[in-house]
Every structure is written in C-alpha cells, then in structure tokens.
Chain A
Amino acid sequence: MKICISSSGQEKTSLVDERFGRCPYFVAYDTKTKEYSAAVNKGVAASGGAGIAAAQTVIDMKADAVITGNMGPNAMELLQANGIKIYQTTGNTVEAAVQEFKSARGVELSKPVPAHSGMGRNNRRGW
C-alpha cells in the first residue's frame, strides 16, 4: 500500500502541508518496502485547478491513500472516483503522519473545504 502525504519538503522529516492543492511536494510511503519517495506537486504553480492537478499527481504516483490537512471539492471528487482514501492530519512531520495512520488513529476526511481555501486571503478572487 502506498500513502501520499502533502508536504512542505521532500524528506520524511519535512512538515506536512495542510493544503492539498497548493502543497509543494508529495512524499509517498510504501508500507511494503517501508521506503519514502517524493514528487513535485503539479498543482503548486497552476493558475487554476490546482486541486485537480495535485490529485492527478497523486494518482500518477499510484497512491492508495492520501494524508493531508484540508482538501477542496474538485480534488476530493477526483480522488474518490479513483477509490483513493483520504485522511486528515494536523501540524505533523511526514513520518509522524505515517505513524498516526499505521496506528489506525487516522481520521478519514469526507467533507471538502470551499474552493480556493489554500490560496490565502489575498489571492482569492473578488474585490
């Protein structure tokens, strides 16, 4: 089983990024080989549809589950259509998030946050 964690860095010691669509990297943990690997999130620099691009990155990494802070509606729809489980974590390192998941303390995420939540107050559309 492969678990993808939205991360601010490429290491297992990196902090989890609570934004799914706009996190810089995804760190994957393989429960069989117990190895970590990282990939750049295609959604981080997208002008729009970051969540979809991020979900596509995770799908391309052949993940079975995702651990993140929050997720928007489009990304959630896409991951659920692919049968990828989504779990929530808060302010941890990647390694700690994996431990939390393994000890079955992971909380499943089923409700999306509003679109554009990960962009910060100043970057959202509107006036």
Chain B
Amino acid sequence: MQIVVLSGKGGTGKTTVAVSLAKTTGFTYVDCDVEEPNGFVFLSPQIEKVVDVTIPNPVIDRSKCITCGKCAAVCQFNALAVTRKGIMLFEKMCHGCGACLLTCPTGAITEQLRAIGKIDIGRNADIECIRGVLDVGEPMAGPVISAIKKLIADERDTIVDCAPGSSCNVVKAITGIGDFKRVLSICDFLV
C-alpha cells in the first residue's frame, strides 16, 4: 500500500503527518518534496546509501559542428542557441530528451550525464527512510522524483511526503499510485 500525504498549502503539517504515520505503521518513509525535504529532520536516519540522479546533456564537438542550427531548432526547451562562435548550451534549460542528438547531421553531439540531485536511503531504527534532494539552483525536480518512484516501484508499503500545491512535482509524485482509483471510488460512494 502507498499512502501519499498532500496539501494545497505549504506549512500545514504534511511532514508531521507523514512522519507520524510512518513511525506508527512502520511503513517506508519517502520524502518526495525534493526541493526542500525535511522529514529527515524528525527521523534523523542513518544514511546507508546515496544514489546520484543525473540527466543527459548534449556535448558539442566543435571540430565536427557545422553550425547548421538544426539542434537549436528542434529543441523544445530553448536550451540551445546558434551564435557566431558555435552552438551555445544553457544546461539548466535542458530536459535531456536527446532530440538534438538525433537531429545533428554531422554526429557532433554526444551526451554526458549531469548530476542534478541525489537520493538518500537510510534507516531510523525500525523504519526505512528515503528522500530525494534536488541540488540548489536546479530548476527541474521531476527526474529526482521519478528516480525515487522507480526505487519504490516494488510492492513495499510506503508513506510518501509530497511537495505542497498541485504543481508538476506533486503530479509526478502521485502518478502511478495504485490505490488512487480506490480513493476515487470511495469519493463516488460518499457523493
């Protein structure tokens, strides 16, 4: 079973509820509020494993690049620009989709993994604790949350602490929660 703790507003007690639930039930505590994870403040677990989260960024070989600009044109995130000196990459804009790599006619683009955050895995006495940490200044939390979701995709019981609001980060964290349909059916019954 996966239970996700949500709130439309920040500072209302999501972490308090999530941590208490995890402690009471013995479920795995998962902090998906990767921009400011704070569940570990209460649980202070012993960190046993740290996994880096990376996204692929293009690297342009200037000796092969003919500055045709096809990569910049295909980029949906405006991460590449054509300048007089060659192609310029704004790495923070890059989502790592790889379209530029496929489009480049001269094969001047290769990919290099860039770390944008990490996942801490540890234990607090009886419960397993997982949290995602997005690096300061990184704009994109999605890949970190996805990496956590992949990690807890097995059948283990979890309490998931989320980001506030209804942003992409929240949607990402609740995507694939199997019991969501059950919650909906309960709502239908009540209405």
Q: Could you list which residues of chain A lie within 8 angstroms of chain B, going by C-beta atoms?
A: 43, 46-50, 52-53, 55-56, 59-60, 74, 77-78, 81-83, 125, 127
B residues apposed to A, CB below 8 Å: 9-10, 72, 77-79, 81-85, 88, 90, 93, 164-165, 167
The answer to whether A52 and B85 touch across the interface, beta carbons within 8 angstroms, is: no
- Indicate the member of B78, B79, B88, B93 with the most A CB atoms within 10 Å: B78
Contact present for A49 and B82 (CB under 8 Å): no
* Known contacts A49-B93, A52-B90, A127-B165; is-contact A82 B78 (Cβ 8 Å): no
CA–CA, A74 to B88, complex, Å?
11
From B79, B83, B164, name the one whose CB has the most chain A CB atoms within 10 angstroms.
B83
* Chain B minimum-CB-distance residue to A60: B82
Complex CA distance for A2 and B9, rounded to whole angstroms: 49
Q: Which residues from A are CB-within-8-Å of B93?
A: 48-49, 52, 74
In the assembled complex, how far is the CB of residue A23 from the closest CB belonging to chain B, in whole angstroms?
Answer: 15
**Is the pair A53, B167 in contact by a Cβ cutoff of 8 Å?**
no
Contact of A81 with B88 in the complex, beta carbons under 8 Å: yes
Residue B82 contacts which of A50, A56, A83, A125 (CB distance < 8 angstroms)?
A: A56
Q: State the Cβ distance, A122 to closest chain B Cβ, in Å.
A: 14
Provide the bound-state CA to CA distance between A50 and B76, in Å.
11
Given A74-B93, A127-B165, also A48-B82 (CB < 8 A): no
